[in-house]
């Protein structure tokens, strides 16, 4: 079962990847860094959703 944190985390990772790639193409280091930060935040949120799901299944 997928929860909203897992979905939002994956969406944030995709957004970060696109933003990071756009930063690389345009040479905008700030956009590239923001994209990398979004990807990391998305991974953290997805992991939180995964843990939340496992705890819910345990009970």
Which tens digits make up the pLDDT trace of 2-23?
899 999 999 999 999 999 999 9
Residue 1 has pLDDT above 80, yes or no: no
The pLDDT score that the predictor gives to residue 47 is: 97
Residue 27 has pLDDT above 80, yes or no: yes
**Domain chopping of the chain, boundaries:** 4-58
**How would DSSP label each residue in the chain?**
---HHHHHHHHHHHHHHHHHHHHHHHT-HHHHHHHHHHHHHHHHHHHHHHHHHHHHHH-
* Cα atoms found within 13 Å of the Cα of residue 3, Cβ hemisphere only: 14
Residue 40 has pLDDT above 90, yes or no: yes
Sign of CA dihedral 26, 7, 10, 52: positive
């Amino acid at each position: 079962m997928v929860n909203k944190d897992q979905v939002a985390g994956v969406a944030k990772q995709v957004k970060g990847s696109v933003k990071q790639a756009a930063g690389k193409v345009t040479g905008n280091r700030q956009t590239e860094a923001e994209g990398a930060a979004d990807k990391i935040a998305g991974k953290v949120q997805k992991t939180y959703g995964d843990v939340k799901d496992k705890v819910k299944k345990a009970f």
